[in-house]
Amino acid sequence: MKKSCFLLLVCVLCMLPAMPVKAVGAGSNQLTLVKGQTYQLPNASWFCKYYAADAKIVEVSESGELTAKRVGETLVSQTTLQGVIQYRVMVTDAVDVVVMMGQSNMVGSGGNVFESPDVNAMALQYSKGKLRNLSRQGTLIPAFANAYIKQTKTPLISIQTAVGGTSSSGWVGRGYTKDAQKELKSCLSYLKNKKVTVKHVYCLWLQGETDAQQGVTKDGYIANVRTIASRMKKAGSEKFLIIQVGRYRDNNIYMGDIVAAQKQLCKNYKKQFAMATTVTNTISNSKAYYADSVHFNQKALNKIGSSAGKFAGKLAKQTKK
C-alpha cells in the first residue's frame, strides 16, 4: 500500500510541468525588487519547484527565495500541485520615497480595502526593516502610488507613519515625528546598503482635524508644522507636501484657521512646502464622501490619493536632484 502511494505521488510530480500555467498579468503575479533584495515566494513547500528564466537578473533557491542580482525583467516559474505559477519580476536600482504622515484620514480609518484600486506593481512599502510590494488597502496610498508612478515611471516606496487622533503639537512633542524620522532613515540606509539610487524623497501630510477641535491658532499650527518639516528634512526629505485638510461632515467645528495656516505655509515657504491637492475642499461639500462625521470613505480617499499623487509625480519629473 505504501509503495503504491509513493508511486502515485511520483506520477503526479512528473506530470506537473504539463499542468496549466496561470496567466501573468494579475497584480499578484508581478513583483518589483530592488537590486540586492531577497524575497520569499508565497506558498513555498517541499513539492514546489522553481526556475528563473534569467538567473543573471534573479536567482531562485530550492526553497523559493528570490535574490535580485541586476537591473532587468525576467520570469520566475513556481511549480505546484495545482499547476505552474509565473511571476514577472522587475529588478530596479532607482526609486522614489514618500513618507505618509498625519492622522486618521491618512491612516484610512474610513477606508474599505474592497473599494480601493488595484496597485501598480512598481508600488512598494517599507516597514520596520522590510521592503515588499504595496498591497491593496483601505487608504489613499494605492491611488496615490498609481497616479505618482503613472507620471514618473519610477518605482515608489511609501512609508506609513500616520497615527490616528494626533495633533500637530503631538507630532512635535510626543515622538511621532521621531518615529517617522527613524523609519525614513532606516529605509534610506537599507537602500544605500544595496546601492540603490534614491531620486526623490517627499513627506505627505494630511492632518488638522484634531487641531481645529482643540482650537489651535493659525500661527500655532504654522509653527508646529514648520518644526515637523524641518526635522524630516534632517532625516532626508526634500519637500513637505500638504493635502489640504477637509471639513467635518456636519460643519460643526471651524476649520478656517487650519486651512489658512496650510495655505500660508505653501505660499510663504515655497522651498520647503507645496500644496499637493485641495480636492478635499470639494469633497467636503458632499456627505456621500464620508464614512462618519470626520472620516472620508474609500471613494473620497481614492480621489484624494489620485490628485495628490499626480501633483507629486509631476513635481518629481520637474525637479532635478
* Beta-ladder partners of 24: 26
Cα atoms in the Cβ-side hemisphere of radius 13 Å centred on 197: 7
Q: Could you report how far apart the first and last alpha carbons of the chain are, in Å?
A: 69
Q: Is the dihedral of CA 201, 38, 23, 71 positive or negative?
A: positive
Round the average pLDDT of the chain to a whole number and report it. 91
Contact 277, 308 (CB under 8 A): yes
Distance in angstroms (rounded) separating the CA atoms of residues 268 and 264: 6
Q: What class is the 15-92 domain?
A: mainly beta
Ranges of each domain in the chain: 15-92, 94-318
pLDDT (tens digit, 9 = 90+) per residue, 116-166?
999 999 999 999 999 999 999 999 999 999 999 999 999 999 999 999 999
pLDDT recorded at residue 82: 81
Residue 235 has pLDDT above 60, yes or no: yes
Q: Which pLDDT band, with edges at 50, 70 and 90, does 321 fall under? A: low
Extended beta strands in 109-238, E state: 123-127, 130-133, 156-160, 197-206
Grid coordinates of 81: 500541485
Residue 18 has pLDDT above 80, yes or no: no
pLDDT recorded at residue 19: 37
pLDDT (tens digit, 9 = 90+) per residue, 55-70?
999 999 988 999 999 9
Residue 14 has pLDDT above 50, yes or no: no
pLDDT (tens digit, 9 = 90+) per residue, 256-299?
999 999 999 999 999 999 999 999 999 999 999 999 999 999 99
Q: How far is CA 21 from CA 78, 84, 171, 246, 310, in A?
A: 10, 5, 50, 47, 36
Name the CATH superfamily, with its identifier, for domain 94-318. Answer: SGNH hydrolase (3.40.50.1110)
* Beta-ladder partners of 124: 133, 157
- Residue spans of alpha helices (H) in 202-255: 209-214, 218-235
Return the closest-CA partner of residue 276 out of 144, 172, 166: 144
